[in-house]
Amino acid sequence: MRIGIIGAGQLGQMLGFAARDLGMQCRFVDPAPKPPAAVCGPVIQEAFDNADALARLAASSDVVTYEFENVPVDALLKIAERVPVYPPPVALGHAQDRLAEKQLFQRLAIPLPEYHRVDTFDDLELAANRLGFPLVLKTRRLGYDGKGQFVIRRPAELGIAWHECGGADLIAEQWVNFDYEVSAIGARNVSGDIICYPLTRNAHAAGILQTSIAPLQNEVLTRRAEKYVTTLLRHLDYVGVLALELFVRGEQLLANEFAPRVHNSGHWSIEGAEPSQFTAHLLAISGQALPEPRLMAHAGMLNLIGKIPENLQLPSAATLHDYGKAPRPGRKLGHITVLGDSAAARDTLLAQLCETVMHSTPQ
Ligand code: AMP
């Protein structure tokens, strides 16, 4: 089976490693020279919307997928005329526009924070009157890892937020005083079978994911999140892995956004579950059966952002994944997974690891 992947970053690399174990071949499109996934297969070094490069990818693949969300939907629809493209481009279309995404959550009765569409400064003032302060102003498109958003704390900041966010095509969102954040990862295959991973608890700093732990031990929230993910997967006639990010406030779950792809908050599944999210994605898009995920342990994941410490002494229960990227502040360069026999053992290991990484010298 030949898998064409648009994007050759770390997600492509981890898909590539999983593909190798399944006896599949991968080929990528990515404009970067020597991207992380180049170790897994040939890379057509062109822009993500280069029609010729995408046509070449489609011509040499049995199925095409993407690890990068800013691929033009039209470009995907074009290659879908020649070869199956999963997840379906319509799902990507919703995920690329925060307004369409929120309207979809509403239609499917998935609870979400209150929001307002903002096209003019008057809209923003009206939204502020209705939502109160603080509120979050977000660009509808091209925002990720907290980029393209501004937390407005008082009326005097409305003007600068308006300019910072580009002054058009925005969403104003109620500030959620959440207890913590979770993600619900599920997969659906070509036959429509669905699997769900246990709920993962995530901690972000400056909008970037820092740590994840799984399974979250809360049956009520887990069942509810599974229901939301299943609803999304069915409604979108989805094929592949999908991650739904949610805020937890008391017993309430509020949907923030979904990613139509394998997700950083599921990296723990490489060591922590069988199959991993990467294997599940490949099985799903290649028309194979999806085994129910079996948990191997209590898992934790720490992102290595901006630096990978030198001479890291890791316990045997920890695994380092170095994506082979050049260091740059704020850049995800790798991650470490830890496994514990109990949630407490996992939490201790993860806390020690965070301490070591924070006080280490960069490579
Ligand atoms: P996003 O790009 O929408 O996923 O936002 C990145 C992170 O910013 C989220 O994971 C939250 O930690 C925080 N955030 C985004 N929207 C809100 C909100 N409405 N209320 C509180 N925190 C938020």
* Residue in 267, 259, 261 with CA at minimum distance from that of residue 86: 261
What percent of the chain lies above the pLDDT cut of 70? Answer: 98
pLDDT at 359 over 80: no
What percent of the chain lies above the pLDDT cut of 90? Answer: 92
| Ligand 1 contact, 207 CB (< 6 A) | yes
| Ligand 1 contact, 113 CB (< 6 A) | yes
pLDDT at 146 over 80: no
Main-chain dihedrals φ then ψ at residue 292, nearest 5 degrees: -60, 130
CA of 206 to the centre of ligand 1 (A): 9
Mean pLDDT of 109-126: 97
73-102 pLDDT, tens digit per residue, is 999 999 999 999 999 999 999 999 999 999
pLDDT of residue 358: 80
CA of 256 to the centre of ligand 1 (A): 7
CA of 249 to the centre of ligand 1 (A): 14
Split at pLDDT 50, 70, 90, the class of 16 is: very high
DSSP state of 141: S
Q: Whose CA is nearest to atom 9 of ligand 1?
A: 207
Q: Number of helices (H) and strands (E), helices first, in the chain?
A: 11, 19
Mean pLDDT of 2-13: 98
- Mean pLDDT over the full length of the chain: 95
Split at pLDDT 50, 70, 90, the class of 144 is: low
Q: Identify the weakest region by mean pLDDT among 18-32, 145-159, 316-330.
A: 145-159
Cβ(1)–Cβ(286) below 8 Å: yes
pLDDT at 264 over 90: yes
Strand order across the beta sheet in which 149-152 lies: 115-118, 170-174, 135-139, 149-152
Which structure tokens are listed for 294? 């079996």
Tell me whether strands 25-29 and 43-44 are parallel, antiparallel or unpaired: parallel
Tell me the three state secondary structure of residue 158: helix
| Ligand 1 contact, 302 CB (< 6 A) | no
Cα(261)–Cα(263) distance, rounded to whole angstroms?
A: 6
Cα(350)–Cα(336) distance, rounded to whole angstroms?
A: 9
pLDDT at 363 over 80: no
215-235 pLDDT, tens digit per residue, is 999 999 999 999 999 999 999
Mean pLDDT of 292-313: 94
H or E element that contains 131: helix 121-131
CA of 146 to the centre of ligand 1 (A): 7
Cβ(172)–Cβ(128) below 8 Å: yes
- DSSP for 166-193, written as a single string: TSSSEEEEEPP--SEEEEEEEEE-TT--
Q: Whose CA is nearest to atom 11 of ligand 1?
A: 207
Report the atom number in ligand 1 closest to the C-alpha of 144: 2
Report the atom number in ligand 1 closest to the C-alpha of 149: 2
Separation in Å, CA 81 to CA 95, 166, 236: 22, 35, 19
Report the atom number in ligand 1 closest to the C-alpha of 177: 21
Split at pLDDT 50, 70, 90, the class of 168 is: confident
| Ligand 1 contact, 143 CB (< 6 A) | yes
Cα(310)–Cα(333) distance, rounded to whole angstroms?
A: 13
CA 192 to chain centre: 22
Looking from the CA of 24 toward its CB, the CA atoms found within 13 Å total 27
The Cβ of residue 74 has, within 10 Å, a number of other Cβ atoms equal to: 11
Amino acid at 326: A
Which structure tokens are listed for 26? 């991968």
pLDDT at 147 over 80: no
H or E element that contains 214: strand 208-214
Mean pLDDT of 258-263: 98
pLDDT at 301 over 90: yes
17-76 pLDDT, tens digit per residue, is 999 999 999 999 999 999 999 999 999 999 999 999 999 999 999 999 999 999 999 999
